[in-house]
């Protein structure tokens, strides 16, 4: 149980294009999902908290117009990187909070984004 998927696992795009990443909780409902960014050999950096049916809450320094988050259902959240630039290249990981499991966050496998 408590499986979270992400799609795509890898994406390469040209500078200026937009990229959408999907995060799904496969066997539980998640009213809250989280989006993280991870640089090589560093820990996870929380970007935003995604709440089902309401606006996302962004961490300080994260541009909400650049990283669009939509949490349209209890099992799906999407992160869209708009007008991507090379500095947006990173490993993006989502997590979902399982209310039935003492609010443990379960993580997806991550999405490697490379912007050329």
Partner 1 sequence: EDQVTQSPEALRLQEGESSSLNCSYTVSGLRGLFWYRQDPGKGPEFLFTLYSAGEEKEKERLKATLTKKESFLHITAPKPEDSATYLCAVHPMDSSYKLIFGSGTRLLVRP
Distance CA 112, CA 68 (A): 17
Are the beta carbons of 97 and 33 closer than 8 angstroms? yes
Q: Which of residues 3-22 bind partner 1 (CB under 8 A)?
A: 4, 6
54 interacts with partner 1 by CB under 8 A: no
Which residues are CB-contacts of 6 (< 8 A; sequence separation ≥ 6)?
A: 21, 22, 23, 24, 93, 94, 108, 109, 110, 111
Work out which of 19, 28, 42, 89 binds partner 1, going by CB under 8 A.
Answer: 42
Single out the segment in contact with partner 1 by CB under 8 A; choices: 60-68, 70-78, 82-90, 99-107: 99-107
Footprint of partner 1 (CB under 8 A): 2, 4, 6, 32, 34, 41-44, 46, 49, 91, 93, 95, 97, 102-110, 112
């Amino acid at each position: 149980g408590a499986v979270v998927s992400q799609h795509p696992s890898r994406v390469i795009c040209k500078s200026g294009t937009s990229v959408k990443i999907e995060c799904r909780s496969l066997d539980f409902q998640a009213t809250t999902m989280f989006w993280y960014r991870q640089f090589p050999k560093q820990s996870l950096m929380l970007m935003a908290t995604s709440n089902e049916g309401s606006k996302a809450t962004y961490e300080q320094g994260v541009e909400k117009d650049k990283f669009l988050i939509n949490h349209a259902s209890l099992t799906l959240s999407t992160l869209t990187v708009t007008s991507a630039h090379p500095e947006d290249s990173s490993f993006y990981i989502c997590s979902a909070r399982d209310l039935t499991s003492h609010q443990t966050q379960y993580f997806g496998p991550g999405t490697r984004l490379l912007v050329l």
